[in-house]
Amino acid sequence: MSDKITAFTEQVKNGYTFAGKSIRIGGAMLDQKVIPGLDVYLPLKTMNRHGLISGATGTGKTKTLQLISEGLSDADIPVLLMDIKGDLSGIAAPAVPNDKILQRSKLLNVDFKPQGYPVELLSLSNQPGVRLRATVSEFGPVLLAKMLGLNDNQEGLLAMLFKFCDDNKLPLLDLKDLKEVLKYASGPGKDELSKEYGHIASSSTGTILRLIIELEGQGANLFFGEKSFEVNDLLRTTYDGKGMVSIVRLTDIQDKPKLFSTFMLSLLSELYATLPEVGDPDQPKLVMFLDEAHLIFQEAGSVLLQKIETIVKLIRSKGVGVFFCTQNPTDIPASVLSQLGLKVQHALRTFTAKDRQAIKQTAENYPLSDFYKTDEIITRLGIGEALITLLNEKGTPTPLVHTLLCPPHSRMDMLTDMEISTLISRSSLTGKYNHTIDEESAYEILQGKLNLDQTDQSATPPSVSAQRPQPSVLNEILKSPMTRQVGRQMGRTVTSVIYALFVGDAHEKA
C-alpha cells in the first residue's frame, strides 16, 4: 500500500468513525477507485444539524435521499419527504435487483436485501393520500400576509381583523370565513370595527379579498379548513421498530412556489411550536427532506427568508433535522446554507462560463483536501458518486471524501396507481383526516347577524359576540373550535417573539 493510500485511509477512518449510532452510506474512493473496507458513515447524533444534497439532474440526488431515509427508518427515526417529481413513493416497495445494483453491492460488500419501508402518503390537494389541512387561524396573519404579498398597511389591517375575530369568538377555519370577515369589515360592520380597532380602508379590504380569490384559484381552499393535521402524526414508528416515512405528494403544485414555500414554513413553525425542547439528543426525532428546494426560495421576500433562516436555526433544539435537495448549492440563500452541517455534493456540469463560475463558488464551500482538487472532481463524479463532508459528534467538519454510494434496498421508481390505492386504504390516518368538517365559524355567525339585522331594523343591532346563546363556561371551552388552537397559538406566539428578537437584534446591529 502506497504512502498516499495509507495517509488517506487513516484520515477517513479517523474522520468517519463515531462513538454513537451511525448509518453506512458508501465506500471511500481515491483516484477513481474504491478503497476496500474503507466505509463512510453518517452519525445520527448530528442529523439534526441539517444538510444539503445537491447535484445536476440525473446524478443520483433522489437515490441518495432515498438511501439516507432508509437508514433513518431502520434506526427508528421518522422521516418526512417532500415529493415534487412523484418518484419517491417507491420507497414503500422492495427494490428489483439488476446487474448494476448487484455489481455495486458486491464492490461495496453490501448485504443487499430488497425491502419496502413503512410509508404514509399525504396530500395538499385532491391527489390520493391523507389530507393535510390547517385552519386560517392556525396559519396566522403573518404567514398569510407573506403568502398574499401584502404591504405593511394591508398586513396591519389583516392582523387587526384576526384580533377582532379572536375578541368576538369568530373562528377563522377556512378562506370562506376570512372572505366573509373582509366583506363585513368593509360593509355593515365598518363603523363598529372603526370605533373599536381604528380606521378601515375599503381599498385595502378589497385588495386582500381579490388576492384571496386568486389564492383559491391555486387550490389553497383545499388546504385551509378542518380537520387540522396534527404534526405528532409525523413522529410515528412501527411495531417492529422502524420509523414511518411520510411522503407529501406535491406533483401538482410545482407551478405554485408561493403556496409551497409558505406551506413549508407553516409546517416548520408548527413543528417548532408543538415539539418540546430536547437539547442535544443522541438521534433526531424527525428528519425532513425538501426535494427541489429552490421552489421554497423562488418567490420568498426578505422577511420570509429571515423567518425561514430563524426557524432553521431554532428547530434543531427540537430534535428536527432539515435537508434541502437542489441542483446547485447557490439555489440556497447563504444565510441558510451556513446552517447546514452535512453536505452531499453530486456532479455538476460545465456548459457555460456561468457554470464554471458556479462550480468554483461551490468548491469554496467545502473543506480543503490534500487528496482532491474539489473544483475539478465535482465535474468528474459518476452517477451515484458524491463528495461528502459533515459535522462530527464534536461539531467540527469531517474531511472531504469522494464516496461511492450504496444502492437503496427499496424500489428506485414510483408506485403504480393500484399500489398507491392499496397503501392508502391500509392507512390508519385516512379515516381521521379524509373527511371535511364544516363547523359553525365566522361565515355562519356573520351571516346570521346580517339576517337578523335585516329582519328587525328597529331593534338595537346586537354585538357579534351576542348572536348565539351563551353556554356554560365548561361547554364553551369544550366545544369552541378556537379552543383546540390555543396550544398551537401559544407556541406560535413564543416563536414570533423569538423571531422578532433575532431579526430585530440583527437589524439593530446592521
CATH of the domain at 32: 3.40.50.300
* pLDDT single digits (tens) 235-261: 999 998 899 999 998 877 666 766 777
For residue range 84-137, what is the model confidence (pLDDT) as tens digits?
888 899 999 999 999 999 999 999 999 999 999 999 999 888 788 998 888 898
Q: Are 114 and 440 in contact (CB under 8 A)?
A: no
Please check whether residue 324 lies inside any domain of the structure. Answer: yes
Does some domain include residue 160? yes
Indicate if 167 and 239 belong to the same structural domain: no
- Kindly report the average pLDDT of the chain as a whole number: 84
Give mean pLDDT, residues 466-490: 48
Asked if 343 and 449 sit in the same domain, the reply is no
10 SS3 class: helix
Distance CA 501, CA 407 (A): 45
Task: Classify the phi-psi angles of 219: left when phi > 0, otherwise alpha if psi is within -120 to 50, otherwise beta.
Answer: left
Domain count, the chain: 2
Angle at which helices 175-186 and 442-455 cross, to 10° = 40
Give residue 188's domain range: 136-224+439-471
Question: Are 254 and 287 within 8 A, CB to CB?
Answer: no
Q: Does residue 467 register a pLDDT over 50? A: no
More confident residue, 147 or 76: 76
Helix (H, G, I), strand (E, B) or coil at 184: helix
Query: Using the 8-state DSSP alphabet, how is residue 437 labeled?
Result: B
Do strands 51-54 and 342-345 pair parallel, antiparallel, or not at all (unpaired)?
parallel
Q: Give the domain-ending residue among 431, 463, 495.
A: 431
pLDDT at 439 exceeding the cut of 60:
yes
Does 503 map to a domain?
no
For residue 466, count other CB atoms closer than 10 A to its CB.
11
Structure confidence at residue 488 as a pLDDT band (50, 70, 90): low
In angstroms, the CA 476 to CA 141 distance is 25
* Closest by Cα among 232, 278, 224 to 80: 232
In a domain, 235, yes or no: yes
Residue at 415 is within a domain: yes
Based on the domain organization, do 362 and 390 belong to the same domain?
yes
* Tens of pLDDT, residues 176-210: 999 999 999 988 888 888 888 888 888 899 999 99
Whether 286 maps to a domain, the answer reads: yes
Per the structure block, which three cell numbers stand in for 250? Answer: 406535491
DSSP output for 226-267: BSPPPGGGGS-B-TTS-B-EEEEE-TT-TT-HHHHHHHHHHH
Position with higher pLDDT, 374 vs 443: 374
Residue 477 amino acid letter: I
- One-letter amino acid of 292: E
Look at residue 474 and tell me whether its pLDDT is greater than 50: no
Question: Which residues are bridge partners to 51 per DSSP?
Answer: 323, 342
Query: Does the residue 397 lie in any domain?
Result: yes
- Are both 11 and 48 inside the same structural domain? yes
pLDDT at 299: 61
